[in-house]
Structure 1
Amino acid sequence: MEALLHLAQGELDQLLEEAEDFPQGEREHLDVLQRARGEKADLQWEGSAVYAWAATSRRFCDHGAVLLHPALRSQTFSPGKWIGFQPTSQGPATDWETDLGVIRILHTTRRAAATAMAEELSEVADAQGVVTVCSLFGDIGFTGPALTAADTAQPQLEYEAQWGTVTKLIGQRLPWWPDLLRRADVISQWSPGAPVTIAELLPEEEETTLREAVGPWRSFPEVRTALTDLANSLRNHRVDSVNRDIRIFGEHGTSPGGEPLLIAAHHPTEGYPLPRTDDRDLLTRGWQALASSQLFEAFEPLSIVMRRDATLLPFGARTEVSDHSPAARQWATQLRPCAPSALHAVLADDAQDVTFHMDFRTGTPVVRIRSTGRRAWIFLAPLQLPGKQAQLKSVILNDTVWVSTTDRRIHPAPCPPHDHLWWGYGGGDRPTEAAWVIAQLMDDLNAAVTLADHWSQAPKGLTNLLSRSHQPGTELSRSALECARAQQHKGTS
């Protein structure tokens, strides 16, 4: 720290006594042997905090962060000059000549980009005139988009800088590009006074995969529609993201009374949003055909839909249970081996030593893993249970909620995608999901269960019962469940 502040030997102790606002240091950690030898822990300071403090100190301001110098608040500066676009190792940048020297603005939110760029420049003669590198933080600061800065004189010490400060030094509105248009081919088109660039979004990898997958399925209109609809959905979502960024930063990205930032690029509006399909049943049939296919080309699209909108598949939540549990072993007797479908492959992922099965009564694809250290069943929970004449007989709590029926079968309880069934202590949360599913199945085993408003719909008595700690494999009889459900009508908790 003495080197940073240009202190002579012994001056640091005096500074610590006199400067009440000096950043607080922390004692270094000493191990047992060091403490046994009587060594004393030295104070250590976070370099960036000291660097920022120095800029606000009358004595040390010339050794502190360049863009925090107190003169920037009161001094008048000559208008800066745009030097040009710079393709750099840290992303697209624009350089500006100012009274302080060249300020390079990196149009990226990549972590530590400013430090990396400043370090790179510090190794070049005169740092190409660059005194400070700024990169975007991705949020809105007090005077505009939040900035992280690193000076070429102290490249390791990043600090927060103000958009308004850089604007003042440059003397004109700073250009800003929305995240998904923050590309070299777009930014390089800009210069002061140039019209706003209209730039198409580059398709993301998932969208490209879906559109390319249409080829093998051209003779299957339902599959073709399902693939195209999801691809269009992904593109529309990205366009909405650009428009949202522009709206938020355009409206709130400038301090009151300050110069608004310059939105330098927009996405074209013609042809957007891309058309979507309203027929949900048609989409589900298309994805069902892909799920049951054994073609390799169905694997990637199914992986994407599982991540993006699993509700398009006629299955519920992805579930993994141990094959040691009695409930899972009993359920396994109802399964039949089968040739793997594309959906089986998605469930198996990169697991080794797997076999493929099907619960034909519910249509559920199942993968069994028997590798060292991992013996489990992986499946997508059903959305509805079979058995027109059967009723719920009991519930078994083991990895998930299992339903034993009066026709001597056992099934994983229905659970919609993106939900989960659990019991026991939830750190303030309560297992209303499981309670509400069980309540619906008690009334109608074949109910197409929903978890909408489960927090208010779940019977209090069942919720209380499931909130207790139950040992794995605990079986709750129907009479116990009925008794618990009836408690809410008596006003008990």
Structure 2
Amino acid sequence: MNTPPGPARLDLTTCARLLDVRRYSLKRLAKRGLFADPAGTEQGRPFWHETTVLAWAAAKVPQLADRIPLLHWPDATEPAPYLGAVRLKNAVAVGWRPEPGPLWTIWTAPGHPGWRHRTQALAELPGAAAFAVVSGQFGGDGPSLQTYTAADLDNNSGGLRWSKLSQIIGQPVPYWPYMLRIPELLEAWRPGAPAVLAAAIPDLDTTPLLRLAACLDDDSPAQRVLVHQARIFQHVSTSYAEQDLKILAEILNADYNTPETTVVAATPMPVPAVGRDDLDEALRRAGWLDVLARTDTLAVRCVEEVMKWDGGNPFPYSQLEDIDPGKGPHAAEWAQRLLPHPAPRTAAFRVLDPDDSAAEALIDPATDAPVIRTEDGKLQAAVPQRLPATSPLTELVLDDPIWVRVADGTLYLAPLHSYYGLSWGYGGTGPGSLALLIDRLLTDVNCLPADGANGAAPGLEELTETDWPKGTVLTRAQLEAARDGRPYTTGDDAGDDIGDES
């Protein structure tokens, strides 16, 4: 059996190099018995181990603390003085002064997990010896930490357990859930203070939604969808904070840990549980149509925030299609009916043109969906999630994009869910979603879009997995036959039965 090598043996020269001090100084201290005790002797000469030397330096030589990793700092014999809180860029620093020197815990703001402003922290926290950046994740005994010395801000010295941080400052470390890292809360905290009850920071900005809601008639569809969406934002962030506290409690209450290392500084205000389907679908549609039709800056900001949240899933249209009117008769037919959109542009155009830079704004009069013309003359359209048709489906056109025609002759872009796309010619999610959409359109032309890739009749799934030539037109009769498992024929070759297993 191979015996693993022991720790490296350092002589006085390597000890001096480790601490970045002169060898003569260490030799003088060693002669006086003031240096770290040797780990042993080798050929009559003393040697030391790195951990012993670093622990000695952190405990005995305060001027070296800014180059000694926190892992080697000594445990406090009494609570370290509290230094308060200081706001930094995208973070708040909370500090103590243990014996080796000022130590600051850095609490990054939500949305800024990869904190990169250590140089700025050093400038705004003069005299700091070390930093412990508290991540949003957890380790074996508490929140995960990234630690840095003031003399080496580029390298995470790592390895520090939450319990060791508590031992260094001689008291429990305050903990703020990630979504409760609110600067005012951290600044107001003092050792021994009870946990405060506070509203979690929403992932996205609820301010424009609530401000616009305050400007609208009470209980109007637009007001209701705005308040509802703001509550969704708030509820999700509150759930994140509650989950953080649940994980922390499970860690601290484990048999191998001690809860005394941590004090919870803030807990989230409860928010009623809320879901997208709590509002009637017709009300949601009407409310967002009202918001999207507005031209004020608050409505624009509301659209931007909801797009960040889930791609605009609540909107009547959220996915985009690029359309070249010069390629294919159906694209040309659809493009011919577009009308110029008068200035100012509505908030709906933020779905298509976040920078408001498109040269020409258009509208599809059949759906009221926005369209823009790009610099190369091509069109980009917002695709409705539901068709406003009043007559049934008559044909489906497999093209780029996919088209739907109804009995009154109107041609529409095939409706799209905010997440699922449509395609054909292989076994996968796109064809599965197309089969589901066809199944629904045959039953109700005003149906919801395909919100999954499963659930269609097997015959329709077989049809959409077939590699049809681009431009293939499938009639209602053919689609119904496929759905029912009956033979059907292509429009180009009525003599070929497809789907006949005989």
For normalisation by structure 1, the TM-score amounts to 0.71
On the 8 A contact 1:316/1:380 being kept in 2, the answer is yes
Does structure 1 residue 58 correspond to structure 2 residue 49? yes
Describe how 1:54-453 pairs up with structure 2 within 5 A: 58-59=49-50, 62=53, 66-69=69-72, 78-90=77-89, 91-108=91-108, 110=112, 113=115, 116-117=117-118, 121=122, 128=127, 130-160=128-158, 161-201=160-200, 206-218=205-217, 221-252=220-251, 256-260=255-259, 261-269=262-270, 272-273=271-272, 279-280=279-280, 281-294=282-295, 297-308=298-309, 310=312, 312-315=314-317, 317-326=319-328, 327-339=330-342, 342-349=346-353, 350-360=356-366, 363-371=367-375, 373=376, 375-384=378-387, 386-388=389-391, 390-398=392-400, 400-405=401-406, 407-424=408-425, 429=429, 431-441=431-441, 443-444=442-443, 446-452=445-451
Deviation at 1:316, TM superposition (A): 6.1
How has the CA–CA distance of structure 1 residues 183 and 6 changed in structure 2, closer, same or farther, with 3 Å as cutoff? farther
Larger mean Cα displacement after TM superposition, 410-419 or 283-292: 283-292
On the 8 A contact 1:385/1:414 being kept in 2, the answer is no
The code of the aligned residue for 1:167 comes to: S
For 1:99 and 1:297, how far apart are their aligned partners in 2? 53
**Where does residue 42 of structure 2 map in the other structure?**
none
On the 8 A contact 2:433/2:454 being kept in 1, the answer is no
How has the CA–CA distance of structure 1 residues 487 and 79 changed in structure 2, closer, same or farther, with 3 Å as cutoff? farther
For 1:424 and 1:67, how far apart are their aligned partners in 2? 60
SS in 2 for 1:157: coil
SS in 2 for 1:104: strand
**Where does residue 43 of structure 1 map in the other structure?**
none
Deviation at 1:487, TM superposition (A): 6.6
**What are the ranges of 5 or more consecutive residues in structure 1 without an aligned counterpart?**
12-56
How has the CA–CA distance of structure 1 residues 304 and 153 changed in structure 2, closer, same or farther, with 3 Å as cutoff? closer
SS in 1 for 2:230: helix
How has the CA–CA distance of structure 1 residues 331 and 256 changed in structure 2, closer, same or farther, with 3 Å as cutoff? farther
**Where does residue 493 of structure 2 map in the other structure?**
none
On the 8 A contact 1:425/1:467 being kept in 2, the answer is yes
Describe how 1:32-51 pairs up with structure 2 within 5 A: none
On the 8 A contact 2:363/2:369 being kept in 1, the answer is yes
For 1:294 and 1:411, how far apart are their aligned partners in 2? 26
On the 8 A contact 1:103/1:132 being kept in 2, the answer is yes
Deviation at 1:288, TM superposition (A): 2.7
SS in 1 for 2:156: strand
Deviation at 1:447, TM superposition (A): 4.9
Describe how 1:5-44 pairs up with structure 2 within 5 A: none
**Where does residue 24 of structure 1 map in the other structure?**
none
On the 8 A contact 1:250/1:263 being kept in 2, the answer is no
SS in 1 for 2:155: strand
Paired residues, what number?
423
Cα deviation, 1:404-435, whole Å, max 9, x if unaligned, reads: 45654422112233332233558x75631112
Deviation at 1:156, TM superposition (A): 1.4
Cα deviation, 1:266-301, whole Å, max 9, x if unaligned, reads: 2345xx549999552444433333333455654333
How has the CA–CA distance of structure 1 residues 241 and 208 changed in structure 2, closer, same or farther, with 3 Å as cutoff? same
Deviation at 1:147, TM superposition (A): 0.5
On the 8 A contact 2:323/2:381 being kept in 1, the answer is yes
Deviation at 1:141, TM superposition (A): 0.8
For 2:188 and 2:267, how far apart are their aligned partners in 1? 13
Deviation at 1:450, TM superposition (A): 4.8
SS in 2 for 1:383: coil
Deviation at 1:436, TM superposition (A): 1.3
The code of the aligned residue for 1:321 comes to: I
The code of the aligned residue for 2:435 comes to: A
What's the Cα RMSD here? 4.1
For 1:458 and 1:7, how far apart are their aligned partners in 2? 77
**Where does residue 15 of structure 1 map in the other structure?**
none
The code of the aligned residue for 2:137 comes to: D
**What are the ranges of 5 or more consecutive residues in structure 2 without an aligned counterpart?**
1-10, 18-47, 55-66, 488-498
For 1:188 and 1:458, how far apart are their aligned partners in 2? 57
On the 8 A contact 1:199/1:267 being kept in 2, the answer is yes
For 2:51 and 2:298, how far apart are their aligned partners in 1? 65
For 1:295 and 1:187, how far apart are their aligned partners in 2? 36
For 2:146 and 2:500, how far apart are their aligned partners in 1? 57
Deviation at 1:346, TM superposition (A): 2.6
SS in 1 for 2:227: helix
On the 8 A contact 1:181/1:201 being kept in 2, the answer is yes
Deviation at 1:263, TM superposition (A): 0.8
Deviation at 1:247, TM superposition (A): 2.5
**Aligned residues: percent identity?**
21
Larger radius of gyration: 2
